[in-house]
Structure 1
Amino acid sequence: MTEAPLRTLERAARTPLAARLLPHTLLWQTFLLVALLLIVALGAWSQIFRYVQEPARARDVAQMVVSVVNLTRTALINADIDRRVDLLIDMAALEGIRIYPAEQSDELEPLPDTRPHRLLVNDVRRQLGEHTRFATRWKTLNGFWVSFRLDPEDANDEYWVMLPPERIENPDSFGWLGWGGGALLAALLGAFLIVSRVSAPLRQLARAARQLGSGVTPPPQEESGPQEIAVVARAFNQMTSDLARMDADRALILAGVSHDLRTPLARLRLGIEMSGAPDDDVAAMVTDIEEMDRIIGQFLDFGRGTPQEAFALLDLVTLCREVSDPYRLRGVDIRLSTPDHLVVAVRALSLRRALANLIDNALRYAGDECPLDIVVSVSDDEACIEVADRGPGIPETEVERMRQPFTRLEKARSNTKGAGLGLAIVERIMASHHGRLELLPRTGGGLRAILCLPAGASDGGRDRINQSDLGFGHEP
């Protein structure tokens, strides 16, 4: 596993679990906050409603219980003794009210100790007397049981009256929860739509910023919506316009620099070669001029920014042979290991420049005494071009730093020249190909610089592969 994924895993391990579970986008963070506020508000209002509604409900139920008890007592007192049984039967059949004589040995189950029941009990006892008893079960019968006396002073003449539970309990006690839940869902939907209206332009700006970072000029952003979002979109459009103008100015300046610097160098080289100085001095001065010209070329390549060249199908094997032939003519020992053909859609000139930079980098640090190996291969749906040298290599801890511009590893590679832009230019070219540059140690010493290009088919003619033979030959 490479160093970057390891660092990502380490950061994830150090991050608290709650932070990893919470949403990270503005949309869901704001929606979650609004949802929590609405739920808390609904809970608070439900408690307020219960606190205000329960006393009124208890008074109504208590008045009904007192009325039933008083009517029942009056009916029993005024009814003939012979007809009391018929009266009790009629009340049970017609009204669901049962009356039984009370005894001291009655098995009772008290009412639940809740606020509504306490309010009900207090109201009923205030009207019927403190001797009134309550129960939810009398012997084996469940219901709302209330005791009463025919004569308030006679404790032996006591009866139980049972009212149907549905007369006491509010059948719609939880009905408001449905309406509250519906209101909560409607509020959450409205909150989601409001937050989406804010986050959608931000997501569009983020996509445009990524396009701008990759070197593609994004289309102008809509300067509408909330004032704050419109101001940000207007500033982004202004920044995009300024960057485009700066790119045009930079291209004009680079064209002038190329002409104004390289033309005097060419005249200086011609004058040196015709000066009649000793051959060793001429060779040394010509080498310095060539190095100056190469540094200017690197500055120009880096200053051009992301390549704007169109993708086209190219045989990577042919490309490697064409780039390496001039070096071979100069006496450099380059060994190629390639398949017969490997066709990929690439930016031809940019990729040629990247491969030449890697070869120059290898020769500059490893010298031309040891051969260079260039290997073209296919791995995991990627086309790879590897340049391997026998130089001092790059320590693993310095690999990421060496990808940055104007960076050189002086301790590991001494007596070198250049501006420190070669690998930075290659890194930028590979980013424009949606590929990557890998810098790996070579077994036995040296550096393996690998250009990894996506070989799968994709839109826009980006990268696709057509291989007629994956068998590798060797070109000495």
Structure 2
Amino acid sequence: MSSFPTNPSQPTANNAHVPHRVRVPALVRACGQRLARWLPRTLLWQTFLLIALLLGFSLAIWSQIFRYFEEPTRARDLAQMVASVVNLTRTALLNAEPRLRTELLIDLAALEGIRIYPAEATDVLQPLPNTRPMRLLTREIRRQLGDHTRFAMRWKALDGFWVSFRLHPEDPDEYWVMLPRERLQRHYALEWLVWGSAALVAALLGAFLIVSRISAPLRSLARAARMVGSGQSPPRQEENGPAELAVVSHAFNQMAGDLARADTDRALILAGVSHDLRTPLARLRLGVEMSGAPEDEVAAMVADIEEMDRIIGQFLDFGRGDPQEPLQPVELVELVVGLLEPYRLRGIPLELDLPESLSVPARALPLRRAVANLIDNAIRYAGNEKPITVGVHQSHGEVAIEVADRGPGIPPLEVERLRRPFTRLEDARSNTKGAGLGLAIVERVMRAHSGQLDLLPREGGGLRAVLRLPVGRTR
């Protein structure tokens, strides 16, 4: 009775190569990933490459089909030519006078390239290659000259197409006749290559035109979709061309119109509601201040009312959408100093890192609102114990406005989420108030300036909020 290992972890003859088999799929995946890096990314070039491969594959198949059916006909023609040369050579030798045979052989070699030698048992021969064209040719030649016919591609040290023959069928003596290889080669291979390449290029050009008709509307739709995603109004897409693309363009135009109307309605509702709420808030604050309640309770209620008013202001800012006024030269240092003065009067500790003067094309009011939102966030989350650093500097064709605090900061994985409206990081920044619109408003302002908002960790703890504005933009 045969025994088996009781420990399944012990290798056996059946599972000894399992690790190697496990490595094979990983190797295939790695090769596939490496190949994917070299493949085109766009639909245009992916489709064009696929069509090019299909056309090349089809051309190769048709070439092989043509060659397969053309080879027997060519073999018969070449066999007829070889048989004619052998028969004419035999007839000339038989009918020529013995003293003139030497001159005849010399003339055949000089004028026609045909050489004739007697066959010997010690001849060193190299056989013909075993290919289908050669098999067809030799079979057809034997059919016309006899089964005793032999062939070689080299006789002694001479290369050529060698064919044996006899002067008489019963004659045991054999001779070798050599034909130049050029007579058996195809002289129109280059022409076939040129015409085939021309057909392939024409087909690829047609494929490129076909694919470009599909990719151009898709690229236009992609640009329009990016504009919608950035809050802009895209141009109306053309609803012509193929039916499928026309349907997609029509649906996109309808969606863009619905989104524009919804955005307009939302802005009107937010503006109306926010405006209607501020009037009773003002009366409520006045009533609280005149109520005669203890001073600490009045201060707490006034702080809550101010927070509500600030949130309403954020709703108003967010409901206004992207600013539409043109860019104008703005003195950043003057803007930042004027913005920080009320905070300084409130006793907020500030550290400034400002140049003497720096101007950039911008929209003053939205930019002022964005910087104020960053400072308010820094005060709300970092507190008043440690100073907030505000700096302005220029480098690499852009101007940066930086607000740095010593608060809890933002985890890198949460940065993108916090750019969206109505989102907050409750775990890291607890006991805070707000609607979660501050960073969304800043992001929208920077997008309208073709700039960007960077939220970076600060060395030693805290957050660096950097507004980057391109220099020289006039849009």
Structure 1 letter corresponding to 2:379: L
Q: 2:135 pairs with 103, 115, 118, which one?
A: 118
Q: How does 1:415-426 map to 2 (within 5 A)?
A: 415-426=431-442
Change (3 A) 1:243 1:101: same
Quick one: distance in 1 between partners of 2:340 and 2:409?
21
2:472 to 449, 457, 474: 457
CA distance in 2, matches of 1:375, 1:400: 24
Distance between the aligned counterparts of 1:334 and 1:90, measured in 2?
Answer: 111
Letter in 1 for 2:329: L
Q: Deviations over 1:340-378 (max 9, x none)?
A: 111111121111111111221122223334433322222
Q: CA deviation at 1:58?
A: 0.7
Residue in structure 1 matched with residue 262 of structure 2 by the alignment: 246
Q: Is the 8 A contact 2:360 2:472 kept in 1?
A: no
Residue pair 2:153, 2:159 contacting (<8 A) in 1 also = yes
Matched, 1:107 2:124: yes
Aligned partners of 2:416 and 2:113: how far apart in 1? Answer: 87
Deviation at 1:61, TM superposition (A): 1.2
Matched, 1:405 2:421: yes
Are the counterparts in 2 of residues 214 and 306 from structure 1 also a CA contact under 8 Å?
A: no
Q: Which amino acid aligns with 1:324?
A: L
Q: Compared with structure 1, are the counterparts of its residues 423 and 139 closer, same or farther at alpha carbon in structure 2 (3 Å cutoff)? A: same
Q: CA RMSD in A?
A: 2.4
User: Whole-Å Cα distance in 2 between the matches of residues 347 and 413 of structure 1?
Assistant: 31
Contact 1:335 1:373 in 2 (8 A): yes
Give runs of aligned pairs for residues 239-278 of structure 1, distance below 5 A. Answer: 239-278=255-294
Displacement of 1:318 in angstroms is 1.0
CA 1:105–1:285 in structure 2 vs 1: closer, same or farther (change >3 Å)?
same
The worse-fitting range, judged by mean Cα deviation, of 378-387 and 310-319 is 378-387
Please tell me the residue identity of whatever aligns with 2:309.
Answer: D
Alignment partner of 1:446 is 2:462: yes
Identify the residue that residue 322 of structure 2 maps to in structure 1.
306
Pick which of 253-262 and 405-414 moved more.
Answer: 405-414
- Unpaired stretches in structure 2, ≥5 consecutive residues: 1-29
Pairing 1:23–2:40 present: yes
Name the SS for the 1:195 alignment partner.
Answer: helix
User: What are the superposed Cα offsets for residues 93-116 of structure 1, whole Å, 9 maximum, x if unpaired?
Assistant: 554433332222233332222211
How far off its partner does 1:43 sit? 0.8
Residue-by-residue CA offset, 1:439-470 (whole Å, 9 max, x unaligned): 3344444333222222x323xx15xxxxxxxx
Does the 8 A contact of 1:273 with 1:282 survive in 2?
A: yes
Aligned mate of 2:55, from 38, 42, 57: 38
CA offsets, 1:172-194, max 9 Å, x none? 24532221121111111111111
Cα shift at 1:254: 2.4
The change in CA–CA distance for 1:141 and 1:405 in structure 2 (over 3 A counts) is: same
- Matched with 2:17 is none
Tell me how far apart the structure 2 counterparts of residues 81 and 443 of structure 1 sit (CA, whole Å): 110
Residue of structure 1 aligned with 2:115, choices 67, 85, 98 = 98
Percent identity between the two aligned chains: 70
Q: 1:39 to 1:445 in 2, by over 3 A?
A: closer
Distance in 1 between residues matched to 2:363 and 2:207, nearest whole Å: 48
Whether contact under 8 Å (2:351, 2:389) holds in the other structure is yes
Cα distance in 2, alignment partners of residues 153 and 414 from structure 1: 114
CA gap of 1:419–1:151, structure 2 versus 1, over 3 A, is same
Structure 1 residue matching 2:354: 3-state secondary structure: strand
SS in structure 2 at match of 1:216: coil
Tell me whether 1:135 sits opposite 2:146 in the alignment: no
Higher RCO (C-alpha 8 Å, min separation 6): 1
Task: Measure, in 2, the Cα distance between the counterparts of 1:431 and 1:230.
Answer: 31
Q: CA separation in 1, counterparts of 2:93 and 2:353?
A: 115
* TM-score, with structure 2 as normaliser: 0.87
The correspondence of residues 60-459 of structure 1 with structure 2, limited to 5 A, is 60-156=77-173, 158-454=174-470, 456-458=471-473
Q: Partner of 1:391: helix, strand, or coil? A: coil
Distance 2:111 2:337 in 1: 108
- C-alpha separation between the residues in 1 aligned to 2:421 and 2:80? 89
- Cα contact 1:427–1:436 (8 A) shared by 2: yes
Distance 2:199 2:193 in 1: 10
2-structure distance, mates of 1:423, 1:226: 43
- Structure 1 contact 384–453 (Cα < 8 Å) conserved: yes
Structure 1 unaligned segments of length 5 or more: list them: 1-12, 463-476
Indicate conservation of the 8 Å contact 1:437/1:452, yes or no: yes
1:424 is aligned with what amino acid?
A
User: Counterpart amino acid of 1:228?
Assistant: E
The CA deviation string for residues 387-431 of structure 1, in whole angstroms up to 9 with x for no partner, is 233333334454444333333333433322112222222222222
- The 8 Å contact of residues 455 and 464 in structure 2, kept in 1 or not, is answered as yes
Amino acid at match of 1:275: S
Residues 421-430 or 117-126, more deviating: 421-430
| Distance in 1 of aligned mates of 2:31 and 2:428 | 34
Deviation at 1:328, TM superposition (A): 2.5
CA–CA distance in 2 between the matches of 1:162 and 1:441? 87
Distance apart, 1:21 and its partner CA: 0.9
**2: distance between equivalents of 1:349 and 1:241?**
29
> Does the 8 Å CA contact 1:214/1:432 hold for their aligned counterparts?
no
Instruction: Give me the whole-angstrom Cα distance separating, in 2, the residues matched to 1:96 and 1:263.
Output: 114
Residue 146 of structure 1 aligns with an amino acid whose one-letter code is V
Amino acid paired to 1:422: G
Counterpart-to-counterpart distance in 2, 1:98 and 1:90: 10
AA partner of residue 416 (structure 1): T
Q: Distance in 2 between matches of 1:168 and 1:15?
A: 45
* Closer, same or farther: CA 452–14 of 1 in aligned 2, 3 Å: farther
Change (3 A) 1:54 1:390: closer
Provide the rounded CA distance (Å) in 2 between the counterparts of 1:97 and 1:398.
87
Q: How many pairs were matched up?
A: 446
What is the CA-CA distance between 1:19 and the residue it aligns to?
A: 1.1
- CA gap of 1:429–1:137, structure 2 versus 1, over 3 A, is same
What's the CA shift for 1:432? 2.2
TM-score normalized with structure 1 length: 0.87
Which amino acid letter does the alignment assign opposite residue 448 of structure 1? Answer: R
* Whole-angstrom distance in 2 between the partners of 1:273 and 1:100: 130
